[in-house]
Amino acid sequence: MSDLIFLFTMLTAAAGAGVLGAILGLGGGILLVPVLTLFFGVSLPYAMGASILSVIATSCGAAAGHLASGLANIRLGLFLALATVAGALTGAALVGVVPPRALQMLFGLALAYSAFTTIRQLRVELPESLAADPLAQRFSLEGVYYDRVLGRDVAYQAVHVGRGAAVMFGAGLLSGLLGIGSGAFKVLAMDTLMRLPMKVSTATSNFMIGLTAAASAGVYFGRGDIHPMIATPVALGVLLGSYGGTRLIGHLRNTTVRALFLPIVLYLAGAMLLRGLGVLR
Amino acid sequence: MSGAERVVSRILLAGGLLAVALMLAGLLQLEVRATRTAHPLDVAHAAANRAAGRSVDVFVSLAQIGRGLSGWPPSPAAVIATGIVVLLATPAAAVLAALAAFAGAGDRRYVAICAALVVALACGFFLNLGG
């Protein structure tokens, strides 16, 4: 395969990952790493380096679009990112102290339960209005967005904020300890626990994942794992795809986004449980 | 859209676009050099393993990038690395801009949250990137 064809197909694959990432609130690593290693034959360290860069590129493209459209809640994102980044730094400090397999089992079970909750909510377009959480009121975590599908403004407020922040800390802990992305945990905590509309959850997650990834991306750069010839098509494709994806999400129902998200949760729950049991490496 | 949302949205998009523009410029420069010297880049081979990947300069610190940019023409790999660093720094720059916007609006709670995030991100960024 000539250089140009190789670079162009990689850019196209990255753009696809960017579109999905912008809709599902994920960095795209879960999609990009298998594609880069299996289809393009990229070595795993370079694929991981490209993946962490793609998380930041997805966040830049998607969050820029989601913030402009009012779908991402900047206060909510910053408030919860504080818990995630604190968790990531704690996790990095605990490498070698906490047994990773026990943690993978714990989070695998949490994800399996979340998948069950997600299945029960598959037909729920918007969460029922609950009493405002005092912490949400103090930190102004409420919001409103225009839903193009419903044709009206949708007002929302966060509940169980303390528990949501605790899950975010746990998600960060997992990122720091295992070096994996945690966008799925962020979306699940906001959707199922904090009772936010699904599209607000994925859009706000898109803003947060860039902050979490930026805290640890320097490690990959310092190791030389962000290779210039792989990073360039991946970053360009993901940035364009994710910005385009923000236009697409406006035309989707919350229930559609949740249905697209469910297979990712099931896959992650299964993979994490199998790793925790020592079946997968 | 509040002031903070507007400015953060613009910084994220501008940072992302500037980063990919630099990366693309560096990659084109690499391609042109490869065509002139009749030595194709063989991206697929370089991507396949780390030993082959070292056939292209990979800059891993700010000091190295600085040296790569100081000559003329600047090293293509250093131009790409500059784009990568711009991308890595963009989320922190967005939080810094949000801090300024919240400070302007007199929202002290979010000024404190943004300040804590900027400190955490700056620590991670500079500790890992080194000199």
pLDDT in tens, B78-93: 999 999 999 999 999 9
Q: pLDDT > 90: what percent of chain A?
A: 40
pLDDT in tens, B1-56: 678 899 999 999 999 999 999 999 998 888 888 777 766 666 776 676 666 666 66
SS3 A147: strand
Whether residue A80 has pLDDT greater than 90: yes
The stretches of A70-197 forming alpha helices (DSSP H) are 74-93, 100-120, 134-138, 161-178, 183-188
CA distance A200 to A164: 15
The whole-number pLDDT of residue A1 equals 56
**ipTM for the complex?**
0.88
Only one residue has tokens 């729920």, namely: A124
CA distance B114 to A136: 17
Q: In terms of CA atoms, which chain A residue is nearest residue B126?
A: A218
Only one residue has tokens 């500059």, namely: B82
The answer to whether B68 contacts chain A (CB < 8 Å) is no
The whole-number pLDDT of residue B130 equals 43
Mark yes or no for CB contact B127/A218 under 8 Å: yes
The DSSP-derived string for A223-246 is TT-S-HHHHHHHHHHHHHHHHHHH
The whole-number pLDDT of residue B39 equals 66
Mean pLDDT of the A125-146 span: 86
From the candidates B87, B107, B113, B118, which should be mutated to test the interface with A, based on the most A CB atoms within 10 A? B87
Of B47, B77, B95, the CB nearest to A41: B47
The whole-number pLDDT of residue A91 equals 78
φ, ψ for residue A280 (rounded to 5)?
Answer: -105, 150
Only one residue has tokens 């089992």, namely: A105
Of A45, A56, A239, the CB nearest to B88: A56
Q: In terms of CA atoms, which chain B residue is nearest residue A219?
A: B128
Whether residue B129 has pLDDT greater than 60: no
Mean pLDDT of the A227-241 span: 90
Whether residue A90 has pLDDT greater than 60: yes
Asked whether the beta carbons of A95 and A169 are under 8 A apart, the reply is no
* Among A255-269, B7-21, B91-105, the least confident range: A255-269
Whether residue A85 has pLDDT greater than 70: yes
Whether residue A149 has pLDDT greater than 60: yes
SS3 B113: helix
Which positions 7-36 of B are in contact with A (Cβ < 8 Å)?
8-10, 12-13, 15-17, 19-20, 23-24, 26-27, 30-31, 34
The whole-number pLDDT of residue A175 equals 76
pTM for this predicted structure = 0.89
CA of A228, closest CA in chain B: separation in Å?
A: 6
The whole-number pLDDT of residue B58 equals 75
Q: In terms of CA atoms, which chain A residue is nearest residue B98?
A: A74
Mark yes or no for CB contact A235/B10 under 8 Å: no
Of A75, A219, A224, the CB nearest to B128: A219
pLDDT in tens, A4-55: 888 899 999 999 999 999 998 888 777 788 888 888 888 888 888 888 889 9
In 3D space, the residue among A237, B37, A150 whose CA is nearest the CA of residue B29 turns out to be B37
Higher pLDDT residue, A183 or A76? A76
The whole-number pLDDT of residue A41 equals 86
In 3D space, the residue among A248, A246, A263 whose CA is nearest the CA of residue A59 turns out to be A246
The whole-number pLDDT of residue A206 equals 92
Provide the token pair at A10.
């990689």
How far is CA A279 from its chain centroid? 25
**Chain A residues with CB inside 8 Å of B10's CB?**
64
Whether residue B70 has pLDDT greater than 80: yes
CA distance A50 to A17: 12
Provide the token pair at A65.
């679009």
Mean pLDDT of the A218-243 span: 87
Burial A187-197 (b: 16+ CB within 10 A, else e): bbbbbbbbbbb
Only one residue has tokens 């891993």, namely: B60
Mean pLDDT of the A256-279 span: 88
Mark yes or no for CB contact B46/A86 under 8 Å: no
Higher pLDDT residue, A132 or A188? A188
Mark yes or no for CB contact A42/B47 under 8 Å: yes
SS3 A143: strand
Mark yes or no for CB contact A211/B77 under 8 Å: no
Higher pLDDT residue, A139 or B44? A139
Round the average pLDDT of chain A to a whole number and report it: 87
DSSP A35: I
* Among A207-211, A216-220, A238-242, B3-7, the least confident range: A216-220
Mark yes or no for CB contact B129/A222 under 8 Å: yes
- H/E segment holding residue A146: strand A143-147
